[in-house]
Amino acid sequence: MLMRRRALLAALALAGVHAAVADPMVDYTLFCMGCHGAQARGVPGKVPPLAGALSRFMRTPQGRDYVLRVPGAANSALSDAQLTAVLNWLAERDAGAGAAPVAPFTVAEVTAARRTPLASVQETRRAVISALAAGGGAAPALDY
């Protein structure tokens, strides 16, 4: 984790972004935790989980695109750099033991995708999860 964080900060510096981003745990608390919960499990039927889901979405370009365009991410008050840091911080904790680590988001990737929020979130979520499941490997649960 120490190496990862240094690499992340270095990448951000290279991207020309002010590297003194806020602590991702603080950002998660202030901007995401209210609905997604202290354990990122969401609320059944109401708020989707991030635990057991985020890193799985991140395995494909379609899934990564979805994650960056859901209202909570696309419309969030977090800057691109902060959002990148929070998602990567979450993904790191979500990756399953023994599974290949998912490539972290880059700020450029986040910046590009979140400018066009999704029109139809539920529909897109179902389509993305179906595609992930069909493609083999772990997919997030369809229902929550």
Site residues, other proteins (CB under 8 A): 1-2, 5, 20, 22-35, 37-41, 43, 46-47, 50-51, 71-72, 74-77, 89-90, 92-94, 97, 117-123
Query: CB of residue 52 vs other proteins: minimum separation in angstroms?
Result: 8
- Residue number, 93 or 135, with CB nearest to other proteins: 93
- Residue number, 119 or 134, with CB nearest to other proteins: 119
- Residue number, 26 or 134, with CB nearest to other proteins: 26
Query: CB of residue 9 vs other proteins: minimum separation in angstroms?
Result: 10
* Nearby residues of 29 by Cβ (< 8 Å), 6 or more positions away: none
- Residue number, 7 or 103, with CB nearest to other proteins: 7
Query: Cβ distance 132 to 59 under 8 Å?
Result: yes
Query: CB of residue 13 vs other proteins: minimum separation in angstroms?
Result: 17
- Residue number, 62 or 76, with CB nearest to other proteins: 76
Query: CB of residue 41 vs other proteins: minimum separation in angstroms?
Result: 8
Helix or strand or coil: residue 43? strand
Query: CB of residue 66 vs other proteins: minimum separation in angstroms?
Result: 12
DSSP 8-state symbol, 106: P
